[in-house]
Amino acid sequence: MSKSFIASLLALSSLLALSFIIWSPTVLSAVVSPGQIIANCAIDGTAAITFDDGPSMASIWTHELLDFLKEKNIKATFFINGDYRNCIVYMIMPTFHYQIVSLEKAFKKIIGLVPRYFRPPYGSYNEEVRNTIRSFGYTIVLWDIDVGDSVGNPVEYSIEKYKSASGPPSSHITVNHDSEQTTCEQIGPQGIQHFLDKGFKLMTVAECVGETDSSLWYQYISTPNDRDETWTCSVI
């Protein structure tokens, strides 16, 4: 797995060819706004396949999923959990504000990017959380299809969510979890194929809400720092 591919994962997108440039973090998207809540795509016949809580514990599962996406030339969106495997920040930190600051610091150092899109854990938020997310310039991304892969449902249950979804011109944002081996090896690939068979055009979340300028998928774009001894995670 190339470094650029792993960087793309952490950047919340499976795009490979991303040119790192300096971009002012004050530049705002014309399509989405801070604090806005997105639960579906805005373009008819499109779908955004999203994955939460990765990379997988074994790492290889997520890498296999990324290889599948690359082979199919499909874009997906990944929301990285900063608390996973004790990476970046512990969720017992005293404030949500501090957690976001820690995550942004890590993103800037490791990949030279700060994304514009944010998914609150479990899709849960209140006005205080939303206001904090808004103050950091993030758009909130939820979903309209939860495949139920993270709560012990059988693979067939999750795949049925894709099979029974309304086809184009409907649009969808699905939530999956690449922390699960069965999602990376079965649910993700098979679900994606069912959506392709239905005729959906698969896009990133940013694309499916109409943001065609990829430089506006991020609030901050620069060059990553050199790897150092802090780029590690504790194994639980």
Domain boundaries, the chain: 12-221
pLDDT digits (tens, 9 = 90+) for 55-68: 776 678 999 999 99
**27 — pLDDT class (breaks 50, 70, 90):** very low
Nearest CA among 177, 45, 58 for reference residue 119 = 177
pLDDT digits (tens, 9 = 90+) for 92-105: 545 778 888 888 88
Structure token pair of residue 122: 């479990």
Q: Give pTM, 2 decimals.
A: 0.83
Whole-number Å distance between alpha carbons of 142 and 89: 22
Maximum alpha-carbon separation in the chain:
49
Output the CA angle 119-121-125, nearest 5 degrees. Answer: 80
pLDDT of residue 107: 87
pLDDT digits (tens, 9 = 90+) for 120-168: 989 999 999 999 999 999 999 999 999 999 998 999 999 999 999 999 9
pLDDT digits (tens, 9 = 90+) for 168-179: 999 999 999 998
**3 — pLDDT class (breaks 50, 70, 90):** very low
CATH of span 12-221: 3.20.20.370
